[in-house]
Amino acid sequence: MFRSTAARRAAAVSPIGVLAAAGVLAASLALAGCGFGGDASLDGSSGPFKAADCPEQPATTWAEPATGGGTHPVRTAMGEVRVPNSPKRVVVLDTAELDSAITLGVKPVGATRSEAASGSLDYLAGDQVAGIKDVGEIGAPDLEAIAALKPDLILTSKVRDGRRYDRLTRIAPTVMTETTGYPWKQNFATHADALGQIPRARRAAAAYEAHAERVAKALGGPAAHKLRTNIVRFVEGADARVYGCRSYIGTVLADIGTGPTDVVDGSKDGLMVELGPERIGEADADAVFYASYGTPKKSKEAQITTGGRWKRMRAVTGGRSFRVDDRLWIQGIGYTGAGRILDEVRQRLVKK
């Protein structure tokens, strides 16, 4: 059974420096509208960080709402699939699908879990996930466990479960998006169509947009566009990752007017770049949020963040580096998670 932690650790709120002179780290971002400016680094370099060349996000397209008690077609990565208008027993095979279902008021009967942690996404409330059956790891679901739940709909993506599509369809109608991550808003629209929840989904998307506007205003409105924010993820067996424009977290930050530095330009598919320990200083920005997939020791987070290159970053010396929950910021992928991220960004970057 999935379990949700009662509360996430609260990170300390640090004031943000907005004015600088050579060799001086200076203070405060106020709600009145001051944005971030460049400050001087310990090695004598100064000036603003250069923004990544991010494309505009694609607009979301919505299907017409299903009506009645029959079935309706859903356009998927595997072609058109007919699903019940009001599915009752839904199984989700990735975190984005879980977030979508919960956002739309649908509690799945079964869900997969990350290999790095047991249990559900811990930003979801306990009553939202209580009783959901564990059906294996993401990318390696237990098909017998899924079948035993007698689902009437399965939600996943081709990148996760494409090779299992035929076997899944023998269990229940299976709706697959092409991939996960960056196209999360369009994927949510597909999930909403499959769940028969288009009107509720459109309200959720509109509420998120309004939320993002409020956070952007709190960060200084137009001044927030000068703020460069990098997201660093430490992963066991790999170099540190800095997430780019075409990632889930990249789109959330773009929605409030900020985004990564040009270190991510040229990244494959715009998703991320990988930096070894000797290059970690290139992840520097006005603010840096970082997380680990797995334990800090195995991911080398503990080693790198206590090293000299990390400690000399302007975000660190200025008190603008923040450890965050990987399951929320990187794994969650959806409107409920995105709303929580917006709240955390505001908490950490806006002085009260």
Q: What is the 3-state secondary structure (H, E, C) of the chain?
A: CCCCCCCCCCCCCCCCCCCEECCEECCCCECCCCCCCCCCCCCCCCCCCCECCCCCCCCCCCCCCCCCCCEEEEEECCEEEEEECCCCCEEECCHHHHHHHHHCCCCCCEEEECCCCCCCCCCCCHHHHCCCEEEEECCEECHHHHHHCCCCEEEEEHHHHHHHHHHHHCCCCEEEECCCCCCHHHHHHHHHHHHCCHHHHHHHHHHHHHHHHHHHHHCCHHHHHHCEEEEEEEECCCCEEEECCCCHHHHHHHCCCCECEHHHCCCHHHCEEEECHHHHHHHCCCEEEEEEECCCCCCCHHHHHCCHHHHCCHHHHCCCEEECCHHHHHHCCCHHHHHHHHHHHHHHHCEC
- Please report the pLDDT score of residue 125 as a whole number: 83
pLDDT, the chain, mean: 87
Distances (CA, A) of 307 to 93, 313, 333: 38, 11, 31
| Selected residue with higher pLDDT from 70 and 27 | 70
- Please report the pLDDT score of residue 15 as a whole number: 34
- Please report the pLDDT score of residue 33 as a whole number: 35
Q: Which of 218, 224, 228 is nearest to 259 (CA)?
A: 228
Average the pLDDT over 332-342 and give the result.
Answer: 97
For the whole model, what pTM was predicted? 0.85
d(CA 73, CA 50): 46
Q: Which of 274, 262, 322, 337 is nearest to 102 (CA)?
A: 337
How confident is residue 117, by pLDDT bands cut at 50, 70 and 90?
Answer: low
- Please report the pLDDT score of residue 120 as a whole number: 65
Determine contact, residues 300/241, Cβ cutoff 8 Å: no
Query: Which tens digits make up the pLDDT trace of 53-67?
Result: 999 999 999 999 998
Average the pLDDT over 40-58 and give the result.
Answer: 70
List of residues 6+ apart from 319 with CB closer than 8 A? 14, 15, 16, 17
240-243: strand order across its sheet: 272-275, 240-243, 229-235, 287-293, 321-323
How confident is residue 47, by pLDDT bands cut at 50, 70 and 90?
Answer: low
- Please report the pLDDT score of residue 12 as a whole number: 33
| Selected residue with higher pLDDT from 280 and 48 | 280
- Please report the pLDDT score of residue 195 as a whole number: 98
d(CA 48, CA 292): 27
- Please report the pLDDT score of residue 121 as a whole number: 82
Q: With pLDDT > 90 as the criterion, what percentage of the chain qualifies?
A: 77
Task: Give the number of other CB atoms < 10 A from CB of residue 67.
Answer: 9
d(CA 300, CA 275): 12
- Please report the pLDDT score of residue 67 as a whole number: 86
- Please report the pLDDT score of residue 222 as a whole number: 86
Determine contact, residues 226/35, Cβ cutoff 8 Å: yes
